[in-house]
Amino acid sequence: MKKRQLRDEFKHEFNLEVQLFLLNCMISDLDIFARCRTIVHEDYFDDQLNTTVRFILQYADEQHSIPDIALINAKTGQLLTGMSPEAMVRQRDWFLQEMENFCRYRAKENVMLDAIELLRAGEVHEFERRYNEAAIIRLNRDIGTDYFHNPHERLLRMLDRSSFVKTGWHLLDDKLFGGFSRGALNVFCGSSGSGKSLVLQNLALNWILDGHLVVYFTLELSEDLVSLRLDSMLSGKSTRDVIGNVLDVALFLKEKSKVSERLFIKKMPEGSTTTNDLRAFLKEFEIQTGRRPDAIIVDYLDLMYPNNQRIDPSDLFVKDKFVSEELRGLMDETNSFGATASQLNRGAIEAQGEFDHSHIAGGISKINTADNVIAIYAPNLQRGEYTMLFLKTRSSSGVGQRIKLRYDPECMRITNTAAPDVDRAQSYNEISAELKEQNQSMDGDTALDMMQRNRGKHH
């Protein structure tokens, strides 16, 4: 069954008369035509207009101008009339919005009409790719920065770092002139066993304690193992002690949740997860919770695959290029901040902390895309030191500089070197001391409620 026959079954506002009107508007103004050319495709129009639209687009691409209306009518047999300049001035904004809506609607419709054939052929990812591309069709209305217009305002805007989000490590924030920005791709690089996941987990912890909703995607570790590590970091106890004091730690976490944002940990399949899979999860997350996450953490970049299955995953340069671009696009699309990690190659072992771009697995492709690339290594873990080297910083001058953070091997917590983190909630020891004063026969919730009523003495 042809698309036209299927389309006839749908009743919508973009009928043939509306399409003719949009086409007449588009060919009446060269500036408007140029803006629409990036999103208009002949397949979006009904069969009666396909030939006409194809001729107009081909002529414009070859001659860099709009064909004369008489020529269009003679070549295609379609009687177009165009619009007067006065009418175009009045309807300019409406037309641009309507053409954008039309192209987005028809692009989605085309994907849905092809869905059965794509799914039968096993082209699930191709279906997802086409639909996601259709969903983000937009006209570019931003003409950029007028350099000489109000330079004072522009410079003040550069000084405003309110859009940057602190990482919880002030030494790192200082080097980045305020922290991570929304829509940016931040990559922590390390050798195998250097603690890439620990850095990301500590970062997630810093953000929820600072009041940000975080989604943590793990492609390697289980949800329970990531959670156990966070239990250890929050309580200041080793994982063995956490397991040995389940009730006390559970009560402590319940208390901590009263002064922290929520953290969701989601295990994704290793070896097949794409950015489209993350996007689908985030949409379901928004439906179920009614919220969008502030931060997205992906553990980690090298385990992801491009949306396009035709890309050879053994070609790391190309694979990482596409994955990095797609993940950064997701950050920008969701207006979120976050981080991921990447592996350093074998040469990094001999470099002994003197890392450069050549030591990143996959090469320069992911560095070109990332906004900040930070190498991590811990040569002095016994002394409780964690070192970070800035390989790339897009919005600061921190490249080549190092910072040292405090690392507690007992609970795996990474903090600033100047002083340990001071949290708004009571520490584990304080909460445990209060619980021990309560009747040991009480259940956990009753004891915690009584502790809450007695907390006035601490404030």
Report d(CA 201, CA 285) in Å as an integer.
Answer: 20
Q: Are residues 210 and 110 in the same domain?
A: no
Least confident range from 151-165, 267-281, 441-455: namely 441-455
CB burial string 189-224: b at 16+ within 10 A, e below: bbbeebbbbbbbbbbbbbbbbbebbbbbbbbbbeee
- The pLDDT score that the predictor gives to residue 348 is 60
CB 374 within 8 A of CB 380: no
- The larger pLDDT score, comparing residue 363 to residue 6, is at 363
Report d(CA 403, CA 426) in Å as an integer.
Answer: 29
Structural domain contains residue 423: no
- The larger pLDDT score, comparing residue 81 to residue 427, is at 81
Q: Burial, 244: exposed, middle or buried (Cβ in 10 Å; 0-12, 13-18, 19+)? A: exposed
Report d(CA 264, CA 293) in Å as an integer.
Answer: 9
Q: Are residues 294 and 358 in the same domain?
A: yes
- End-to-end Cα separation, the chain, in angstroms: 73
Q: Are residues 166 and 37 in the same domain?
A: no
> Which of 272, 179, 261, 169 has the alpha carbon at shortest distance from 219?
272
Least confident range from 220-229, 286-295, 443-452: namely 443-452
Instruction: Name residue 104's amino acid.
Output: R
Instruction: Name residue 426's amino acid.
Output: Q
- The pLDDT score that the predictor gives to residue 202 is 95
Report d(CA 355, CA 374) in Å as an integer.
Answer: 10
Structural domain contains residue 148: no
- The pLDDT score that the predictor gives to residue 19 is 93
Q: Are residues 172 and 282 in the same domain?
A: yes
- The larger pLDDT score, comparing residue 162 to residue 204, is at 204
Structural domain contains residue 147: no
DSSP annotation of 335: T
Q: Are residues 399 and 260 in the same domain?
A: yes
364 pLDDT more than 50: yes
DSSP annotation of 267: E
312 pLDDT more than 80: no
Confidence grade of residue 353 (pLDDT, cut at 50, 70, 90)? low
448 pLDDT more than 70: no
Structural domain contains residue 249: yes
Neighbours of 345 (CB within 10 A): 16
Percent of the chain with pLDDT over 90: 36
- The pLDDT score that the predictor gives to residue 372 is 92
- The pLDDT score that the predictor gives to residue 31 is 85
Q: List Cα–Cα distances, 349 to 200, 359, 390, in angstroms.
A: 21, 9, 17
Confidence grade of residue 363 (pLDDT, cut at 50, 70, 90)? low
Helix (H) / strand (E) element for 122: namely none
Structural domain contains residue 141: no
Report d(CA 232, CA 121) in Å as an integer.
Answer: 48
Instruction: State the CATH number of the domain containing residue 62.
Output: 1.10.860
- The pLDDT score that the predictor gives to residue 164 is 85
Q: List Cα–Cα distances, 83 to 26, 71, 88, in angstroms.
A: 9, 16, 7
Structural domain contains residue 167: yes
424 pLDDT more than 90: no
Mean pLDDT over the full length of the chain: 82
Neighbours of 281 (CB within 10 A): 16
The mean per-residue pLDDT over the stretch 134-143 comes to: 76
The mean per-residue pLDDT over the stretch 330-351 comes to: 82
Helix residue ranges per DSSP H, 147-302? 151-159, 170-175, 196-209, 223-235, 239-244, 246-256, 275-289
Least confident range from 100-114, 283-297, 441-455: namely 441-455
Phi, psi dihedral angles at 392 (to 5 degrees): -155, 135
- For residue 441, how many C-alpha atoms fall within 13 Å in the half-sphere facing its CB? 0
Cβ contacts of residue 145 below 8 Å, gap of 6+?
Answer: 154
Helix (H) / strand (E) element for 294: namely none
451 pLDDT more than 60: no
Out of 135, 151, 171, a domain closes at 135
Q: Are residues 268 and 330 in the same domain?
A: yes
Least confident range from 25-29, 91-95, 435-439: namely 435-439
Q: Are residues 98 and 213 in the same domain?
A: no
User: Which residue has 């629409």 as its token pair?
Assistant: 36
Domain span holding position 128 = 3-135
Q: Are residues 331 and 401 in the same domain?
A: yes
Least confident range from 13-22, 242-251, 302-311, 446-455: namely 446-455
CB 37 within 8 A of CB 26: no
Instruction: State the CATH number of the domain containing residue 311.
Output: 3.40.50.300
- The pLDDT score that the predictor gives to residue 315 is 78
Q: Are residues 113 and 192 in the same domain?
A: no
Structural domain contains residue 321: yes
The mean per-residue pLDDT over the stretch 103-116 comes to: 91
Report d(CA 345, CA 360) in Å as an integer.
Answer: 6
CB burial string 56-83: b at 16+ within 10 A, e below: beebbeeeeebbeeeebeeebebebebb
- The larger pLDDT score, comparing residue 229 to residue 387, is at 229
Q: Are residues 12 and 52 in the same domain?
A: yes
Give the 3-state secondary structure of residue 398. Answer: coil
Phi, psi dihedral angles at 193 (to 5 degrees): 85, 5
Number of domains the chain is built from: 3
Q: Which of left, alpha, beta for 364 (phi over 0: left; psi -120 to 50: alpha)?
A: alpha
**Residues 53-78 pLDDT 10s:** 999 999 998 888 899 999 999 999 98
Structural domain contains residue 150: no
Confidence grade of residue 429 (pLDDT, cut at 50, 70, 90)? low
Q: Are residues 380 and 252 in the same domain?
A: yes
Q: List Cα–Cα distances, 235 to 53, 100, 173, 228, 259, in angstroms.
A: 65, 52, 25, 11, 14
Helix (H) / strand (E) element for 188: namely strand 186-190
**Residues 20-51 pLDDT 10s:** 999 999 999 888 888 888 899 999 999 899 99
- The pLDDT score that the predictor gives to residue 423 is 40
- The larger pLDDT score, comparing residue 215 to residue 178, is at 215
Q: Are residues 320 and 279 in the same domain?
A: yes
